Amino acid sequence: MKQRTIARAVEGVGIGLHKGMPVHLRLEPLDAGSGIVFYREDEGVSISLHPDFVVDTQMATVIGKDGVNISTIEHFLSALYAYGIDNLRVVLNDGEMPIMDGSAASFCMLLDEAGIAEQPAGKEIIRIKKEVVVREGEKYVALKPSKRAYFDFAIRFDHPVIAEQRRNFIFSKKAFTEEIARARTFGFLKEVQYLRSRNLALGGSLENAIVLDDTKVLNPEGLRFEDEFVRHKILDAMGDMKLLGRPIFGAYESFAGSHDLNHRLTLALMANPEAYEVITLRVDESREFAKSFA
């Protein structure tokens, strides 16, 4: 299996979640070995995708360099993960990715429009060799050795609509587009009101998030999936794991994980060289793995 970029440049416009202002997004191909590079054209600053450049994980995953930040990148990164994109330039004219409809579906459509181009270099993956776990009370996130790549996530909320949900997602691009990509971010009305009092979430609406009051979903169309909440948590986790720069051959497991725990997990993995290895897939190894990205 070879490294991938997009076949042609594409662009789009969407609203930023926190500022509520239009954000112009352009995706451009990059050469093999370049990785994922974000570029703030309004600031003239490039930020490579790497756990060391994560500067905030409170409400979203935020990367930054030299005082210049780009927030809410996780939904977009989950689509890059699913499509197997290794090399890409992401050009923005503001400090946050557009929220689109609160899921990864619009980014998948943009990648479909761009097309996929295979490159001469072999594809590198991260093979998990030993378990790495990060805990915070009963919450935890973990990467474990596995013969299949999957994401197993469980959540528990004291809310009648969410309650307890768990999903085991065996990774493939097809399954992602059908089962995960359309799952929207969610929040509670009281939290939205608080954020807006701080001039945040100004672009948030029922068109780009699931909003709940104390007893019900406020979106008139309801949910896209009965367990949309845990599906979105998987979407977030895939985006956060994309910070490692390569797809993971292993298992991700979590109970009540967060962007912060996910970031700490990537750092813990990188700090333990015995827990993983970076390998370039041989032809005989890559045929089966390539089916996941078909």
Counting Cα atoms < 13 Å in the Cβ hemisphere of 142 gives 19
CA-based angle 233:239:243, to the nearest 5? Answer: 140
Question: In this structure, are residues 6 and 27 in contact, taking their beta carbons and an 8 Å threshold?
Answer: yes
Strand, helix or coil at 68?
A: strand
**First vs last C-alpha separation in the chain:** 11
Is 259 catalytic? The answer is: yes
| H-state helical runs in the chain | 74-83, 105-114, 173-175, 189-197, 228-241, 259-270, 283-290
**3-state secondary structure (DSSP) of residue 219:** coil
Dihedral-angle region of residue 53 (phi above 0 means left; psi in -120 to 50 means alpha; beta otherwise): alpha
Q: Which of 18, 232, 259, 263 is catalytic?
A: 259
Cα angle value 264/85/261 (rounded, 5°):
10
Query: b or e along 73-92 (b: 16 or more beta carbons within 10 Å of the residue's beta carbon)?
Result: bbbbbbbbbbbbbbbbbbbb
Q: What is the largest CA-CA distance in the chain?
A: 56
Residues 73 and 16: their CA atoms lie apart, in Å, by 11
Any idea which residues carry the catalytic annotation? 259
